Amino acid sequence: MNLIAAVDKNWAIGRNGRLLVSIPADRQMFRDETVGKAVIMGRKTLESLPGGQPLHKRTNIVLSRNPHYSVKGAVVCRSVEEALEAVKDFQTEDVYVIGGAEIYESFLPYCGTAHITWIDYVYQADTYLRSLDLDPEWELDLESEEATYFNLCYTFRRYRRTSKPLR
């Protein structure tokens, strides 16, 4: 399973339920990585997407504790175990965890690869991903050349789990 996120220098991912920044090359990389695959997200992440709608050309798995919550075009699950069952027929490399923070934390033990857009800036934020740089179970495997979007510098990083993921 994969994790995919954009983070700042402090591994912040959002503020007030929104992404910190929108970088076109990051959006394109996200599309390229996830189209035709399964994406796992929390309800709030789904509701933050354009129109609050599931992502096109993907199998959308949405976690919500609300037993009455449903959304057209998505599979709604109530637990990590139920979500794992929903993606059992996918190859693990075709499943992407896309947020938010609680979902990332819950599924991190099941992920073997993390695709991180690392932004060389510190934003005011209230939501964070655990730093994979400080986690001994993860190592930086690949990093792109530095790119810029206006005055922001960023790189695409790939982290690999050093131990076997759960599942």
Domains in the chain, start-ordered, CATH in brackets? Answer: 2-161 (3.40.430.10)
Q: Of 131, 134, 141, 110, which Cα lies nearest the Cα of 5? A: 131
Q: What is the pLDDT of residue 167?
A: 72
Tokens of 43: 């309800």
Q: What is the pLDDT of residue 166?
A: 86
Are the beta carbons of 14 and 100 closer than 8 angstroms?
Answer: yes
Tokens of 14: 């959002």
pTM of structure: 0.96
- Ranges of the chain with pLDDT below 50: none
Q: What is the pLDDT of residue 50?
A: 87
Q: Of 61, 44, 157, 55, which Cα lies nearest the Cα of 100? A: 44
Are the beta carbons of 66 and 45 closer than 8 angstroms?
Answer: no
Q: What is the pLDDT of residue 124?
A: 97
